[in-house]
Amino acid sequence: MSVPRRSAGFSLIELLIVVSITGVLFAMSVPAYRNYMRSSALKSASHEIASSIQNLRSRAMSTRETQTIHFAIDSSGAGDFHVHNGTVTNHWDLPRDITYATGSGAGFTISTDGRASSSQYIILKDPTGQRDTVSIQLSGIVLVR
C-alpha cells in the first residue's frame, strides 16, 4: 500500500498571488507617502519660522536690543528669511518646493519689550497648493495655523 505524499511549501500560483497583492498595495501607498512628505515639509517650515521668531523675541527681551527679521526669496545668499541689525546675523532657507504664497519681502521688528512692530501673516505653500500660515500678533505672540 502506498501512503499519499503530502507536499510541503507553497505552489507557484500561491506565491505569484502574494507577490501581486504586495505590488498593488505598494503602488497604492507611494502617492500617499509622497503627499505625507510634502505636508510634513510644509508644517516643518511653518514651525521653523515660528520657532525662529520666538527665539528672536526672547533675544530682544534678554539683550534689550531690537531685532529685525525679513522674509524674502533668496536672491543674494541672505537666506529665505533672515535676522539682521545692520548686517545679516542669521539666515535660514525654506525646504525644497516650499515657497511664500504671501509675505515675501515683508519684515518686522521686535522691540525690547517683546512686541512686534506690526501684525504679520506669513503664508507658505507647497507645489500641490496646500498652505500653512504663521501669524505674528502685535503682542509678539506667534501662532501657526
| Domain assignment present for 6 | no
**3 state DSSP class of 127:** coil
Question: pLDDT by residue (tens digit) across 26-84?
Answer: 999 999 998 888 889 999 999 998 998 999 899 999 999 998 888 876 655 445 777 77
| Domain assignment present for 7 | no
| Domain assignment present for 4 | no
| Domain assignment present for 25 | yes
Question: pLDDT by residue (tens digit) across 111-130?
Answer: 999 999 988 888 888 888 89
| Domain assignment present for 100 | yes
Joined together, the cell numbers standing for residue 78 give 541672505
Specify the pLDDT at position 104: 47
Q: Domain range holding 41?
A: 12-144
| Domain assignment present for 104 | yes
In CATH, what number is assigned to the domain containing residue 119?
Answer: 3.55.40.10
Residue 66 CB partners (closer than 8 Å, separation 6+): 60, 85, 109, 110, 111, 112
| Domain total in the chain | 1
